[in-house]
Amino acid sequence: MKQNLAFLITALALSYANPVVVAYAADPLPSWNAGKTKSAIVNFVEETTKESSSKFVPKAERIATFDNDGTLWLEQPLYVQLLFALDRVKALAPQHPEWKDTEPYKSAIAGDIKNVFAGGDNALSEIMMSTHAGMTVEEYDELVKQWLATSKDPRFKRTYTQLVYQPMLELLTYLRSKGFQTHIVTGGGIEFVRTFCEKTYGIPPEQVVGSSIKMKYEYRNGNPAIVRLPGIDFIDDASGKPIGIQKFIGRRPIAAFGNSDGDLEMLQWTDAGRGPHFCLYVHHTDADREYAYDRTSTVGKLDKGLEEAAKHGWTVVDMKSDWKTIFPPIK
């Protein structure tokens, strides 16, 4: 960072002394190793943002969409939001004495995740609804914020918002500096991600598309309240992603970033755009510094997506060789 600053100051000083000198820009992606992945990103951004370029895209149309789990932050060994839900079951257990004899709560309280999963989608859905509904949107926001501030990943001994990918943070900042809008399009809960996206990614809540449960507007103690209800409103995954993009953003992205088969339709929709566009998969190949998984993983499976990426010439990040560092320094 200090070195970049020095570059910048020198460049500014030079351009001040002699306005004809082209400012020497510091590397906007310092955590990306030089190579074809980094070049593909920079080339796309340069050619779509230079007015003289034949591939120039007007600022209003520079929509970039990012998956969250496994693309911007850690998703192994389990999705962070699911860890939150399991912890909420434990916290709520005293108010639900019946849970200690009822599955999937019994297993969740005992920390037997494998047995919770054995209950299938119904068990997971029940846990999600009983922990994510029944409160106002403000109460939910507060619960998630408190949990994120205090819970740590046991392997990395970091809070979850410290387990975001440094190279992707740089990419978000780089794109925004070039006039792109950076939207999150997540299979996870929209309100869950909204609790931390602004501080962590620089992405405001109104630029998050995600899965949602139903809500109700009512009066509580004489004041209007929006209450979260135990029922699915929208699943923003797989073919739900292009639908969510159309619904919330109303424009086709020109750049899309994902890491799993759940992002495939978002990338296909972006790839089918008439103008210049860019599709990228983050491939988790680094078991030492993070995790290595793809075709057979239960979380973040990337199988069909790898075939499609090869077929369409999409950029695939090899985490191990393309990224100098995985996580940001702890402040």
Give me the residues that bind a second copy (CB under 8 A), please.
Answer: 60, 63, 137, 181, 183, 190-191, 194, 198, 204-208, 212, 215-217, 223-224, 226, 233, 239-240, 242-243, 246-251, 265, 268-269, 272
Report the C-alpha gap between 289 and 321 in whole angstroms. Answer: 11
Query: Least CB distance from residue 269 to a second copy, whole Å?
Result: 5
CA angle 299, 300, 305 (to 5 degrees): 145
Nearer to a second copy, 76 or 207 (CB): 207
Residue 328's identity, in one-letter code, is P
Query: Least CB distance from residue 278 to a second copy, whole Å?
Result: 17
Close Cβ partners of 311 (under 8 Å, ≥ 6 residues apart): none
Query: Least CB distance from residue 133 to a second copy, whole Å?
Result: 14
Query: Least CB distance from residue 195 to a second copy, whole Å?
Result: 10
Nearer to a second copy, 35 or 231 (CB): 231
Close Cβ partners of 231 (under 8 Å, ≥ 6 residues apart): 129, 133, 213, 214
Residues forming a β-bridge with 215: 228
Judge contact between 227 and 201, C-beta under 8 A. no
Nearer to a second copy, 8 or 249 (CB): 249
Query: Least CB distance from residue 138 to a second copy, whole Å?
Result: 9
Report the C-alpha gap between 271 and 312 in whole angstroms. Answer: 8
Nearer to a second copy, 28 or 179 (CB): 179
Query: Least CB distance from residue 167 to a second copy, whole Å?
Result: 25
Judge contact between 228 and 213, C-beta under 8 A. yes
What does each C-alpha distance from 45 to 28, 151, 178, 209, 324 come to in angstroms?
A: 11, 37, 7, 23, 21
Nearer to a second copy, 133 or 249 (CB): 249
Judge contact between 283 and 297, C-beta under 8 A. no
Nearer to a second copy, 60 or 330 (CB): 60
Query: Least CB distance from residue 214 to a second copy, whole Å?
Result: 9
Residue 210 — φ and ψ, nearest 5°?
-165, 180
Nearer to a second copy, 194 or 283 (CB): 194
89: which 2 tokens?
Answer: 């079951």
Report the C-alpha gap between 71 and 301 in whole angstroms. Answer: 12
